[in-house]
A and B are shown apart, each in its own frame.
Chain A
Amino acid sequence: MLFNTIQFVFFLPLIVIFYYLIPQKYRWVLLLAGSYYFYMCWKVEYIFLILASTLIDYFSGIQIEKKKTKKGKLPFLILSLITNLGLLFAFKYFNFFSESFDLLFQKINISYQFPLFKVLLPVGISFYTFQTLSYTIDVYLGKQKAERHLGYFALYVSYFPQLVAGPIERFSRLTPQLKQYHKLSYKNIVNGLRLILYGLFIKMVIADNLAGIVDQIYSTPDNFSSLNIITGVFLYSFQIYGDFFGYSSIAIGSALMMGVNIMDNFKTPYLARNIAEFWQRWHISLSTWFRDYLYFPLGGNRVSQTRWLYNIFVVFVISGIWHGANWTFVFWGGLYGIVYIIEHIINKFSKPKFSQKSFSFGHIILALKTFVLVTLIWVFFRSQNLNEAFHIFGLMFKNIDVNTAELVVSSMVWIMVLIFILSDLILYNKRFDSWINKLSFPLRWSIYSFFVFSIIVFSGVDDFPFIYFQF
């Protein structure tokens, strides 16, 4: 079930109404049943993967806690790691490795056909496996007590607002909130609805209208002029941001309606001054996951300079692979690692002499620089393969006189992009629900009306599922 479909328009209110109608002790049953139904709307069979992951991690958690020694705990941690990473490998990466080895063997003249696993990638597999992995690792490290209630644990793994595309929550943050009694609160309902409204606007009006335009460029780039290609590449930055930020906002709003505060996943990332700051503002739940469970275990920054550079690069490359089983993602992650390191070195040797205060000239210049870099790196993320990515880069400079096709971007789309940029400037370090709360009633309702009208009337109507679902 997608957030921007009529099914969800009915599903969420029903869940929220019943949530407040039934006694606290049964709420987890409602949420768990709702979450499983939500997931089974894609493909019923894949629920067994979530169930397997849930049962093994539930069991592993308890066993890890029971064992007194690290030696005793380790096999159960390994069981959890193998299960979750094994699922990820089988469903997401097996074909990638098969094809890559095929290619390698061809290069060295060995004729061997590696098998392919013909199966649809289960929606959100990277999200829920990482979420549940963080739990077993935390139990192993003694940071988290093992959950004895299977129902609440299953709900932690499958909680529908953030099941398929995050934010990737930690057990210690989410489960206590799920267990807590939440009284019907006007504030939570209204703030939740505000976030949902804003998220739908960003996803349906901005991202979905841009998707068709960007698709044209990436499907037949040779037909377009350099200017058109640059426009398409530029617009993709807003499409992917709108798509994922919109999703996260709806997810946070949906949970908030039931009194649960899910962590923010975005904080106006395109206003970041450098790549390091960008990653503190973009997909925050994933960045912090990699920080806690990969970067810190590798030694973080409490190591030699060379080792630190290595750590940074490894984290970015693995983050790239997490996004997708394709060399484009490896490249995408690797590029971020390289740019991060370069920026770090530059900053170390020449501190900028201008002010970097919010919205100062220095901030604007640096944010523009970061935005351009991120936009260019997105080309790898969007392309089907590396050849296509390099081809796009080539065409940005080569196709100056080409005009076989013309990229038509309506003024309405430009206006919406402008509104998106403006709203990011306004919401710098703020969240939409708290910002709008401070406005006068007429102004607030004018904004609501504009969003409602735009969502209904200006939404892109082609079927563009959320981009991050494929991860």
Chain B
Amino acid sequence: MAVLKKIILRMSLLVLLLIPMNYIYKYFFLQQDLEKYSELINLVKQIPDDADIIYVAESSNITYRSNDQDKRYISEMLADYYTDLKVYDITKPAGHGGVYKVLLQNIPKTSKAKTIIVTLNLRSFNASWKNSVLETSLQKSLVLLKDYPPLFNRFMLSFKAYDIKNKKERERLIAKEWKSTTINFPYTAPYNNIFEWDLWMANNGFRDKNGKKDKKKVQLACSYIKAYGFQIDTNTNVRIKDFDDIVELAGERGWQLVFNLLPENTQTAEKLVGDDLIYLMEHNRRLLVDYYTSKGVIVIDNLNAVDSEEFVDQNWTTEHYAELGRKIIAEKIALKLEPVYPESFNEVTYTDEMKSIFLNNCDGNHVWGHSKTISNTGSYSGNYSSKTGKGNDYSISFEYPLSGIPDSLKNSISISLKAYQYSKEHKASLIVSAKSGKTSNYWKAFRLSSKLNEVNKWEDYKLTINITDKIKQSEMIKVYVLNKSNSIILIDDFLVEFN
């Protein structure tokens, strides 16, 4: 007994010591840990308190097709319908209900947001996504954001208390689910689970004219089966639990919750696999719509909203949409929100208006390539610029289909930008290139050093080039700065003008 008493006394002393430790950690170390291990929090931090609508999504929000004239996000297109409301997005590629839940928990209580739109991605309920290799790092990045004392969260991170599995373990789990989960068709099918279905397709799938197996088509069909061949069980599917938690959180915070059931390429699914797969997709669609509508969520059923050709990836199953697809989704969300914001809603009609001047000052919502280089290290105008060098070889990149430029303005291109170099030890160049498909028709590099004379100072860089016939015949034109050196160059106010 005496021994126990001694042990308990010392344990209590340790617990007492943990309290000041928690404060020391919170005030001196938490911020740097968040920056290091939970960059995700920055996605939440960038949302101002006066945001009205927050759109939470995975890569479907931001992915575009390279020849899209309008490369903006779905959330930005949605904002077109509600110009007097502030619409912001939290986009985390490969995100899913579990990630959104933690992100939403971290929205400050001071936020005035009224509506939260969350993408409901059908594939995120399948075995491959639940056990994706990306999960370990995703789950790790969420540990510090959980709703517990910071020191406890750090303890959980240090002792690896998150879903930590290697690639092989995850593959084993996926295979196990494919083998052990029976699919209940209301009729007799030649397969009872994904494993059998996949095998069936591999053996009986597409043949070419000579009777040989059409491997590419079969592989694609198999990937569709693995992506959509499942039945959601609301009692056991972990995603249901995540979305249920989001519903509960929305109730606590007084948010109007909207689930945006993302479009899937059902046309290709039907063509490649047939009715069995469509039956399951429809079954899951109905289940999700009914289940969450009954919980008071506005569910926007977009499953069949986008035509096959509007999917960016034709050889894989993703929820990446070309311009028209994104516009359709934005419109459907906007219409569904009209009863919530009847006075703010505007009709939007997109015209095929041609543009010839493109400016990116790195502060606004200009969807150019390599926007990840945008940083607040320094800026010529506003707060941000594109930071190149030290591994970031490419600056923000202007990429545009030449078909979107009026013919009368296809004579020359004037490019101007502001550049800030820390040293002259670089061979950075402005690159102008033109391509048709994968064929390069034009590629030319113009050394920045020819016009930049000083260091630690913003300087103008201007260039005009003639649009040659080779460029004119190309589909896409691309302009960017290439800096492969270790010397940083900041780029701002990047202007491309067709004359």
Q: Which residues of B sit under 8 angstroms from A184, Cβ to Cβ?
A: 3-4
Cα A4 to Cα B159 in complex, Å, equals 6
Q: Which residues of B sit under 8 angstroms from A455, Cβ to Cβ?
A: 158
Q: Which residues of B sit under 8 angstroms from A5, Cβ to Cβ?
A: 159-161
**7 A-B pairs with the lowest CB-CB distances in the bound complex, closest first:** A6-B161, A459-B158, A6-B159, A186-B3, A456-B155, A5-B160, A453-B21
A457 touches B25 (CB 8 A): yes
The reply on B140 being an interface residue by CB < 8 A is yes
Closest-by-CB residue of B relative to A8 is B159
A453 touches B37 (CB 8 A): no
A461 touches B3 (CB 8 A): no
B3 touches A185 (CB 8 A): yes
The reply on A105 being an interface residue by CB < 8 A is no
A445 touches B13 (CB 8 A): yes
The reply on A401 being an interface residue by CB < 8 A is no
Closest-by-CB residue of B relative to A186 is B3
With contacts A445-B13, A453-B24 known, is A463 near B158, CB below 8 A? Answer: no
A456 touches B158 (CB 8 A): yes
The reply on B29 being an interface residue by CB < 8 A is yes
Q: Which residues of B sit under 8 angstroms from A204, Cβ to Cβ?
A: 158
Q: A443-471: which have CB < 8 Å to B?
A: 445, 448-449, 452-453, 455-457, 459, 461, 463
Q: Which residues of A sit under 8 angstroms from B10, Cβ to Cβ?
A: 190
A4 touches B160 (CB 8 A): yes
A-B residue pairs in contact (CB < 8 Å), sample of 14:
A5-B159, A5-B160, A6-B159, A186-B3, A186-B6, A204-B158, A445-B17, A453-B25, A455-B158, A456-B151, A456-B155, A456-B158, A459-B157, A461-B160
Q: What total of A-B pairs shows CB separation below 8 Å?
A: 60
**In the complex, given contacts A456-B158, A457-B151, A457-B158, what are 5 additional A-B residue pairs having Cβ atoms less than 8 angstroms apart?**
A6-B161, A190-B10, A448-B14, A455-B158, A457-B25
Contact of A403 among B140, B154, B486 (CB under 8 A): B486
Residues of A in contact with B (beta carbons under 8 Å apart): 2, 4-6, 9, 120, 184-186, 189-190, 204, 403-404, 445, 448-449, 452-453, 455-457, 459, 461, 463
Cα A445 to Cα B14 in complex, Å, equals 9
The reply on B7 being an interface residue by CB < 8 A is yes
Closest-by-CB residue of A relative to B29 is A457
The binding surface of chain A is classed by DSSP as helix
Q: Which residues of A sit under 8 angstroms from B161, Cβ to Cβ?
A: 5-6
A189 touches B7 (CB 8 A): yes
A449 touches B17 (CB 8 A): yes
Cα A406 to Cα B151 in complex, Å, equals 32
Cα A152 to Cα B10 in complex, Å, equals 34
The reply on B495 being an interface residue by CB < 8 A is no
Closest-by-CB residue of B relative to A204 is B158
Q: Which residues of B sit under 8 angstroms from A190, Cβ to Cβ?
A: 10
Closest-by-CB residue of A relative to B161 is A6
The reply on B156 being an interface residue by CB < 8 A is yes
B7 touches A461 (CB 8 A): no
Q: Residue-by-residue, is B249-269 near A (CB-CB < 8 Å gives 1, otherwise 0)? A: 000000000000000000000
A461 touches B21 (CB 8 A): no
Q: How many Å from the CB of B163 to the closest CB on chain A?
A: 12
With contacts A5-B159, A456-B21, A456-B154 known, is A461 near B140, CB below 8 A? Answer: yes
Cα A190 to Cα B13 in complex, Å, equals 14
Cα A190 to Cα B4 in complex, Å, equals 12
The reply on B164 being an interface residue by CB < 8 A is yes
Cα A403 to Cα B486 in complex, Å, equals 9
Q: Which residues of B sit under 8 angstroms from A120, Cβ to Cβ?
A: 168
Q: B6-56: which have CB < 8 Å to A?
A: 6-7, 10, 13-14, 17-18, 21, 24-25, 29, 33, 37
With contacts A189-B7, A404-B486, A461-B140 known, is A449 near B158, CB below 8 A? Answer: no
Residues of B in contact with A (beta carbons under 8 Å apart): 3-4, 6-7, 10, 13-14, 17-18, 21, 24-25, 29, 33, 37, 136, 140, 151, 154-161, 164, 168, 486
Cα A404 to Cα B389 in complex, Å, equals 11
With contacts A204-B158, A455-B158, A456-B151 known, is A461 near B486, CB below 8 A? Answer: no
Q: How many Å from the CB of A42 to the closest CB on chain B?
A: 10
B21 touches A452 (CB 8 A): yes
Q: How many Å from the CB of A437 to the closest CB on chain B?
A: 14
- Residue among A4, A453, A456 facing the most chain B CB atoms (10 A cut-off): A456
The binding surface of chain B is classed by DSSP as helix
Q: How many Å from the CB of B7 to the closest CB on chain A?
A: 6
Contact of A6 among B3, B136, B156 (CB under 8 A): B156
Q: How many Å from the CB of B15 to the closest CB on chain A?
A: 11
B157 touches A461 (CB 8 A): yes
Q: Which residues of B sit under 8 angstroms from A457, Cβ to Cβ?
A: 25, 29, 33, 151, 154, 158
Cα A177 to Cα B7 in complex, Å, equals 24
Q: Which residues of A sit under 8 angstroms from B37, Cβ to Cβ?
A: 461
Cα A389 to Cα B466 in complex, Å, equals 54
- Residue among A184, A403, A453 facing the most chain B CB atoms (10 A cut-off): A453
Q: Which residues of A sit under 8 angstroms from B18, Cβ to Cβ?
A: 452
- Residue among A9, A190, A457 facing the most chain B CB atoms (10 A cut-off): A457
Contact of B160 among A6, A186, A452 (CB under 8 A): A6
Closest-by-CB residue of B relative to A184 is B3
Q: Which residues of B sit under 8 angstroms from A456, Cβ to Cβ?
A: 21, 25, 151, 154-155, 158
Cα A264 to Cα B386 in complex, Å, equals 56
Closest-by-CB residue of B relative to A446 is B17
- Residue among B6, B29, B159, B161 facing the most chain A CB atoms (10 A cut-off): B159
Cα A461 to Cα B168 in complex, Å, equals 21
Q: How many Å from the CB of A402 to the closest CB on chain B?
A: 11
B17 touches A452 (CB 8 A): yes
Closest-by-CB residue of B relative to A460 is B158
Cα A411 to Cα B84 in complex, Å, equals 49
Contact of A449 among B21, B25, B155 (CB under 8 A): B21
Closest-by-CB residue of A relative to B159 is A6
Q: How many Å from the CB of B348 to the closest CB on chain A?
A: 46
Cα A249 to Cα B155 in complex, Å, equals 20
Cα A445 to Cα B13 in complex, Å, equals 10
Q: Which residues of A sit under 8 angstroms from B486, Cβ to Cβ?
A: 403-404
Cα A38 to Cα B154 in complex, Å, equals 25
Q: How many Å from the CB of B113 to the closest CB on chain A?
A: 31
Q: How many Å from the CB of A194 to the closest CB on chain B?
A: 11
With contacts A4-B159, A9-B159, A184-B3 known, is A452 near B154, CB below 8 A? Answer: no
Q: Which residues of A sit under 8 angstroms from B160, Cβ to Cβ?
A: 2, 4-6, 461, 463
Cα A9 to Cα B160 in complex, Å, equals 11
Q: Which residues of A sit under 8 angstroms from B17, Cβ to Cβ?
A: 445, 449, 452
Cα A107 to Cα B14 in complex, Å, equals 64
Q: Which residues of A sit under 8 angstroms from B154, Cβ to Cβ?
A: 456-457
Q: Which residues of B sit under 8 angstroms from A463, Cβ to Cβ?
A: 136, 160, 164
Cα A2 to Cα B159 in complex, Å, equals 10
With contacts A184-B3, A456-B151 known, is A461 near B14, CB below 8 A? Answer: no
Q: How many Å from the CB of B32 to the closest CB on chain A?
A: 10
Cα A320 to Cα B346 in complex, Å, equals 75
Q: Which residues of A sit under 8 angstroms from B6, Cβ to Cβ?
A: 186
Q: Which residues of B sit under 8 angstroms from A403, Cβ to Cβ?
A: 486
Q: Which residues of A sit under 8 angstroms from B14, Cβ to Cβ?
A: 448, 452
Closest-by-CB residue of A relative to B155 is A456
Q: How many Å from the CB of B427 to the closest CB on chain A?
A: 14
Cα A461 to Cα B24 in complex, Å, equals 20
Cα A169 to Cα B177 in complex, Å, equals 41
Q: How many Å from the CB of B311 to the closest CB on chain A?
A: 35
With contacts A184-B3, A189-B7, A453-B24 known, is A461 near B158, CB below 8 A? Answer: yes
Q: Which residues of B sit under 8 angstroms from A9, Cβ to Cβ?
A: 159
Cα A360 to Cα B13 in complex, Å, equals 41
Cα A439 to Cα B424 in complex, Å, equals 59
Q: How many Å from the CB of A6 to the closest CB on chain B?
A: 4
Q: How many Å from the CB of B486 to the closest CB on chain A?
A: 7
Cα A9 to Cα B10 in complex, Å, equals 18
Closest-by-CB residue of B relative to A463 is B164
Cα A452 to Cα B6 in complex, Å, equals 19
Q: Which residues of B sit under 8 angstroms from A404, Cβ to Cβ?
A: 486
Q: How many Å from the CB of A45 to the closest CB on chain B?
A: 12
